[in-house]
């Protein structure tokens, strides 16, 4: 069979492997870890740093097409692969923009899509001269942040100056705190030919900066919101000349308007439900886009609730234990996904459960049962 290449060894890479293998492909994963969620299920695990010339060459030799599962892959690696004749999706151009918040925000705004008021910060003085309207706000490191890491909420300019010193980074964005009603995200798949399809928006709840719950039911969305969010995602993907799967995170403000918070150049945690609730999953689409196959059906077949499983669940009073999986699996249509991570840690994403139902109310009721079995708090 033919090979597909993946940069990164995390759970997104693992679920990509599953989708690719089901379609008859073999997958080579480039990841430095000895043991990783994707490396463990890949047909070949190349253990090398993401910028290791020999590792990149090995991947290029085997794989006519390569994708990535995390945004912090060096853009130079993508360029190097492309130079060796590999079809790289997404390309270095798109990834270089979205992996740097200063570029990402400027790009989104230039595409005519609203973002929260912000100022790029390259030195402390940029905070000193920033508009007073950016406070209270959030200072976010331009690079490498995820799950709310690398960002600090700041009530005042003085706090922002202090946060700049604490973050010890080369660049940040200072963003005004937006009056959120709630958050949604839209996953889009776009082929090399420019054809694009979007999934129904997921409504997302975070706990401690980490996604906790995503709920998807197109009938429960405010009228018109899906169309607005989809149009915006398509516009951004087109402007990025994007090939592959990406996710657009949006804020719905209390006045009903829509802002884009950030773009992830890969499948997204809020799209994991697609494996169990849609015609075609976001990972299946990743395979299709990179292999030049027709795009899959994005229709939501059943309303769903996705619960993230963090390492915290593996600890009770400081003692490590295995959560009650049987209790979860007793719940009808509770689809358990564990990522094969051997070391649970607080805040670490270890797996997720997607619970589907004939109606949203049924999915929520079942989600409460599954959560209850794990001692997890879930309130629709």
Runs of H (alpha helix) within 45-156? 53-62, 75-83, 92-98, 101-110, 124-128
Which of left, alpha, beta for 168 (phi over 0: left; psi -120 to 50: alpha)?
A: left
Minimal distance, residue 209 CB to Mg ion, in Å: 9
Phi, psi of 144, deg, nearest 5: 70, 5
Name 59's Cβ contacts closer than 8 Å, sequence gap at least 6. Answer: 5, 7, 28, 30, 46, 66, 81, 86
Q: Which residue has the tokens 């990149």?
A: 56
Name 288's Cβ contacts closer than 8 Å, sequence gap at least 6. Answer: 189, 191, 280, 294, 295, 296
Minimal distance, residue 77 CB to ligand ATP, in Å: 20
Minimal distance, residue 175 CB to ligand ATP, in Å: 4
Cβ atoms 143, 169 nearer than 8 A: yes
Query: 197 to each of 15, 231, 247, 322, 347, how far by Cα in Å?
Result: 20, 10, 12, 39, 32
Q: Find the binder of ligand ATP among 69, 183, 217, 284 (CB under 6 A).
A: 183
> Residue 335 and residue 309: Cα distance in Å, rounded?
12
Q: Please report, as residue ranges, which positions from 246 to 305 form the binding site for ligand ATP (by CB under 6 A).
A: 249, 261-262
> Residue 312 and residue 326: Cα distance in Å, rounded?
18
For the chain, how are helix, strand and coil distributed in percent, rounded to 5?
35, 30, 35
Instruction: Lay out the sheet containing 87-88: strands in order across.
Output: 44-46, 26-30, 3-7, 65-68, 87-88
**Binding partner selected for residue 147 from Mg ion, ligand ATP, none, CB under the kind-specific 5 to 8 Å limit:** ligand ATP
The residue (of 270 and 285) whose beta carbon lies closer to Mg ion is 270
Q: Are strands 304-310 and 258-264 parallel, antiparallel or unpaired?
A: unpaired
Residue 99, interface with ligand ATP (CB under 6 A)?
no
- Using the contact rule CB under 5 A, the part of the chain among 62-70, 159-167, 258-266, 270-278 near Mg ion is 258-266
**Binding partner selected for residue 341 from Mg ion, ligand ATP, none, CB under the kind-specific 5 to 8 Å limit:** none
> Residue 21 and residue 24: Cα distance in Å, rounded?
5
- Using the contact rule CB under 5 A, the part of the chain among 47-55, 188-196, 262-270, 276-284 near Mg ion is 262-270
Site string for ligand ATP, 194-233 (x = CB under 6 A): ------------x--x------------------------
Site string for Mg ion, 199-238 (x = CB under 5 A): ----------------------------------------
Q: Find the binder of ligand ATP among 82, 114, 177, 218 (CB under 6 A).
A: 177
Query: Residue 134 gets which letter from DSSP?
Result: G
Minimal distance, residue 143 CB to ligand ATP, in Å: 11
**Binding partner selected for residue 180 from Mg ion, ligand ATP, none, CB under the kind-specific 5 to 8 Å limit:** ligand ATP
Binding-site residue numbers for ATP are 101, 140, 145-151, 183, 206, 261-262
Between helix 75-83 and helix 53-62 the angle, nearest 10°, is 50
**Binding partner selected for residue 175 from ligand ATP, Mg ion, none, CB under the kind-specific 5 to 8 Å limit:** ligand ATP
Which of left, alpha, beta for 244 (phi over 0: left; psi -120 to 50: alpha)?
A: left
The residue (of 42 and 171) whose beta carbon lies closer to Mg ion is 171
Between helix 11-22 and helix 282-291 the angle, nearest 10°, is 70
Query: Residue 36 gets which letter from DSSP?
Result: -
Burial of 328 (0-12, 13-18, 19+ CB in 10 A): buried
Q: Please report, as residue ranges, which positions from 236 to 255 form the binding site for ligand ATP (by CB under 6 A).
A: 249
Residue 327, interface with ligand ATP (CB under 6 A)?
no
Minimal distance, residue 71 CB to Mg ion, in Å: 8
Minimal distance, residue 246 CB to ligand ATP, in Å: 13
Q: Which residue is nearest to ligand ATP (CB)?
A: 178
The residue (of 69 and 262) whose beta carbon lies closer to Mg ion is 262
Residue 144, interface with ligand ATP (CB under 6 A)?
no
Minimal distance, residue 261 CB to Mg ion, in Å: 6
Residue 120, interface with ligand ATP (CB under 6 A)?
no
Please give the residue ranges that form the binding site for ligand ATP (CB under 6 A). Answer: 116, 138, 140, 145-149, 151, 175, 177-178, 180, 183, 206, 209, 249, 261-262
Please give the residue ranges that form the binding site for Mg ion (CB under 5 A). Answer: 249, 262
């Amino acid at each position: 069979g033919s090979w597909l290449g993946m940069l990164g060894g995390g759970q997104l890479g693992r679920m990509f492997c599953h989708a690719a293998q089901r379609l008859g492909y073999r997958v080579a994963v480039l990841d430095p870890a000895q043991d990783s969620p994707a490396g463990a299920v890949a047909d070949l695990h190349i253990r090398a740093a993401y910028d290791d010339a020999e590792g990149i060459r090995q991947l290029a030799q085997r794989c006519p097409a390569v994708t990535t599962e995390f945004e912090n892959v060096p853009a130079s690696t993508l360029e190097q692969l492309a130079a060796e004749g590999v079809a790289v999706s997404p390309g270095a151009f798109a990834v270089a923009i979205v992996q740097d918040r200063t570029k990402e925000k400027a790009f989104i705004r230039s595409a005519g899509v609203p973002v929260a008021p912000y100022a790029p910060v390259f030195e402390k003085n940029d905070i000193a001269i920033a508009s007073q309207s950016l406070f209270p706000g959030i200072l976010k490191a331009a690079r490498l942040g995820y799950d709310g890491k690398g960002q600090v909420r700041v009530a005042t300019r003085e706090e922002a100056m202090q946060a700049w010193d604490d973050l010890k980074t080369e660049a940040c964005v200072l963003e005004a705190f937006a009056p959120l009603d709630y958050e949604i995200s839209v996953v889009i798949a776009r082929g090399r030919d420019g054809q694009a399809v979007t999934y129904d928006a997921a409504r997302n709840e975070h706990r401690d900066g980490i996604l906790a719950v995503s709920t998807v039911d197109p009938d429960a969305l405010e009228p018109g919101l899906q169309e607005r969010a989809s149009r915006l995602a398509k516009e951004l993907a087109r402007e990025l000349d994007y090939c592959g799967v990406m996710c657009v995170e949006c804020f719905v403000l209390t006045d009903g308007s829509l802002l884009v918070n950030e773009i992830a150049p890969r499948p997204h945690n809020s799209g994991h439900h697609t494996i169990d609730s849609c015609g075609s999953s976001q990972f299946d689409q990743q395979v299709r886009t990179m292999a030049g196959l027709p795009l899959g059906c994005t229709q939501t077949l059943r309303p769903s609730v996705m619960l993230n499983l963090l390492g915290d669940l593996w600890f009770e009073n400081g003692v490590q234990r295995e959560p009650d999986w049987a209790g979860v699996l007793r719940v009808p249509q509770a689809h358990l996904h564990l990522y094969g991570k051997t070391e649970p840690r607080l805040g670490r994403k270890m797996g997720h459960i997607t619970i589907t139902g004939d109606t949203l109310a049924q999915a929520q009721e079942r989600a409460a049962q599954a959560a209850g079995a794990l001692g997890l708090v879930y309130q629709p």
